[in-house]
Chains A and B, each alone.
Chain A
Amino acid sequence: MAKPRLTNQIRLLRFLANEMTQAELGERIGLTRQTIAAIEAGKYSPTLEAAFRIARVFGKPLEEVFQWSD
């Protein structure tokens, strides 16, 4: 599998948000724990809507949560 070009800071942001679990984050935005884990691991690229929902949970702009690496 090609190295993912879409990277993210979700794991760090969860840690900074009182060690929020993947399940808690998933519940807040309507995704399963496995999907949050897949996004963190770069195994799944979320839809734009889910990406905005994740960023909103952490109170961050989208580009601080997700990055595109060339």
Chain B
Amino acid sequence: MNQSPEKVGIAFRERIAWLSLTAMVLAYSVYFALAARAIQQGAGTGELIGLLAAVLVVQILVVIAASIAIAICSGREARAPADERDRAIARRGAAAAYFVLMIGMIMVGCVMPFRDKGWTVINAALFALVVAEVVRYATIVTSYRRGWHG
């Protein structure tokens, strides 16, 4: 057999997962750093909501623009429905994130209200969501890279 191995590029859904992971980490690193400084300087609710909204809008716009660029580069593959491996990997990512989110929500909903308030609780809830999403996308890209035997 003299068939040379076919070059296997990165799957469309893996590229989207990398994009989402990178955007999430960058956007919320900036947000939490700026929010911590703003709270220390006594910023009001309006400023913090504005900061969160600005980060959210920039993140969403960047992800949409980059997703369109990736879809154009991926051609037909971007229009193909997810196959069984894509779906299995997505389920694995969601299952891993679920436990992280559960722990975060228990902390935010059942523990923090007794000792913290206001933006500390809001940011803790947001942090739990971000960590859960990061775990989800990290699980997805790891599963695509290292293989997965469901």
Contacts and interface: CB of A to CB of B under 8 A. Distances in A.
User: Do A and B form a real pair?
Assistant: yes
Interface of A: 1, 4, 6, 11-12, 14-15, 19, 21-22, 26, 30-35, 37-38, 41-47, 50
B77 interface: yes
A33 B148 contact: no
Given A12-B1, A35-B84, A38-B85, 16 more contacts: A1-B147, A11-B1, A11-B3, A14-B3, A26-B83, A31-B84, A32-B80, A32-B83, A32-B85, A34-B85, A34-B144, A35-B85, A42-B147, A43-B146, A43-B148, A44-B148
B1 A15 contact: yes
**Minimum-distance CB pairs A-B, first 4:** A43-B147, A34-B11, A37-B8, A35-B85
